[in-house]
Amino acid sequence: MRILITRPREDAEDVAEILSDLGHEPVIAPLLDIKCLSGLPLNLDHVQALAMTSANGVRAFALRSDERQLPVFSVGDATARAARAAGFEDVRTADGDVAGLGALLAGSLKAGAGTVLHAAGTALAGDLAGIIEAGSLKYRREILYEARIAARLDDKVEQQIGAGQINAALIYSPRTGATFVQLLEAAGLAKVVSSMTVYCLSPAVADAVSDLSWAAVKTAPAPTQAALIDLIE
C-alpha closest to that of 145 among 118, 122, 117, 175:
122
Antiparallel, parallel or unpaired: β 72-74 and 91-93: parallel
- pLDDT score for 71: 97
pLDDT digits (tens, 9 = 90+) for 192-201: 999 999 999 9
Angle of helix 225-232 relative to helix 77-85, nearest 10 degrees, comes to 120
Closest CA relative to residue 99, chosen from 123, 131, 55? 131
Residues of the chain with CATH 3.40.50.10090: 2-31+151-232, 34-148
Does residue 34 sit in helix, strand or coil? strand
**pLDDT of res. 136:** 85
pLDDT of amino acid 111: 87
- CA distances in angstroms from 11 to 19, 117, 140, 157, 227, listed in the order given: 13, 23, 26, 19, 16
pLDDT, position 222: 85
Q: Which pLDDT band holds residue 97 (cuts at 50, 70, 90)?
A: confident
- Residue 18, helix vs strand vs coil: helix
SS3 161: helix
Class of domain 34-148: alpha beta
Is residue 86 within 8 A of residue 98, CB to CB? The reply is no
Q: Which of 217, 134, 147 is nearest to 176 (CA)?
A: 147
Q: Who contacts 48 (Cβ-Cβ below 8 Å, separation ≥6)?
A: 70, 71, 109, 110, 113, 114, 115, 116
Q: Is the pTM of this model over 0.95?
A: no
Mean of pLDDT values over 140-167: 93
**Burial level of 37, CB count in 10 A (0-12/13-18/19+)?**
middle
Within 8 A by CB and 6+ apart from 203, the residues are 219
Segment 213-228, tens digit of pLDDT: 999 999 999 888 888 9
| Cβ contacts of 148 within 8 Å, gap of 6 or more | 32, 33, 34, 35
Q: Where are the alpha helices (DSSP H) in the chain?
A: 9-21, 55-64, 77-85, 98-108, 128-134, 155-162, 174-186, 203-208, 225-232
Q: How far is CA 113 from the centre of its chain?
A: 29
Q: What are phi and psi of 145, to 5 degrees?
A: -155, 165
Fold classification of 2-31+151-232 is Rossmann fold (3.40.50)
The pLDDT score that the predictor gives to residue 67 is 96
